[in-house]
Amino acid sequence: GTIQPSQSDYFQATRGGGNGDYNVIVLAPASVQEMADFVDLAFELSFKYRNPAMILSDGVIGQMMEKLVLPPFKPRRTEEEIRRECPWAAMGRSQGRRPNVLTSLDLDSASMEQKNLHLQAKYKEIKEKEVRFESILCDDAEYLIVAFGSAARIGQKVIEMCRAEGIKVGLLRPITLWPFPSAEIARLSRQVKGILSFEINAGQMVEDILLATNGRTPVAHYGRMGGVVPAPDEVIQALKEKLIK
């Protein structure tokens, strides 16, 4: 990719950038307001689950100018508060407690497996409690567009234009790319005639949609690459050609 608008880093964010059976919480803002709000949310989730959290923006949202209400200021935690609220933290001085050693090196396979099982239980809890998405005009939708970030902004215009033509299209916007809203997409797949994954890339999120639908309804992808941002007309044409015909 380049520094132009694109969403070609979906795999990098949701599939990880290193070894290990791990997951990163990934938040995908679709506005300047969410860019600000998600900073606080990312820290909250990261501290709550002791897990990395990523804000995955794109070149459109990153350079957009919109009205913004800054979240309220939060005073910095004192060292005493950190010790009390985060007993796992590496503070540099133990002060009578056992030192906290942060390491992933364990040459005992059985012990390492137990650590991994502990992490998998945590990821399961995150998937149960922290899925976030926005649903627009999905109740009566015959076709569904799934899009995140700036693509979802374009998707809102797409469903408006489709509805004006009498085509009942809804939009599902994943806010958390991990954990992915698989259960909601699975539910909607039982109602719609087809799903279009609209991403500004060669097709990445579409794999998660295919897993969620499990063959219940046709799934297609439309996107542009290299920093080209599609117009709503292009997306509508793709929807008609790939799914409505």
Q: What is the CATH number of domain 134-244?
A: 3.40.50.920
What lies within 8 Å, CB to CB, of 5 at 6+ separation is 58, 59, 60, 150, 200, 227, 229
CA dihedral 9, 13, 18, 19 (to 10 degrees): -130
Q: pLDDT tens digits, residue range 88-131?
A: 877 766 566 677 777 777 889 999 899 899 999 999 999 999 99
Output the furthest CA–CA distance in the chain (Å, rounded).
71
Where exactly are the structural domains of the chain?
A: 79-129, 134-244
Q: Which two tokens mark 82?
A: 């950190």
Of the candidates 200, 207, 156, the one whose C-alpha atom is nearest the C-alpha of residue 178 is 207
pTM listed for this prediction: 0.92
Q: Which two tokens mark 114?
A: 């137990």
C-alpha count within 13 angstroms, C-beta hemisphere, residue 47: 11
Contact 134, 173 (CB under 8 A): yes
Compute the residue count for the chain: 245
Q: pLDDT tens digits, residue range 176-212?
A: 999 999 999 999 999 999 999 999 999 999 999 999 9
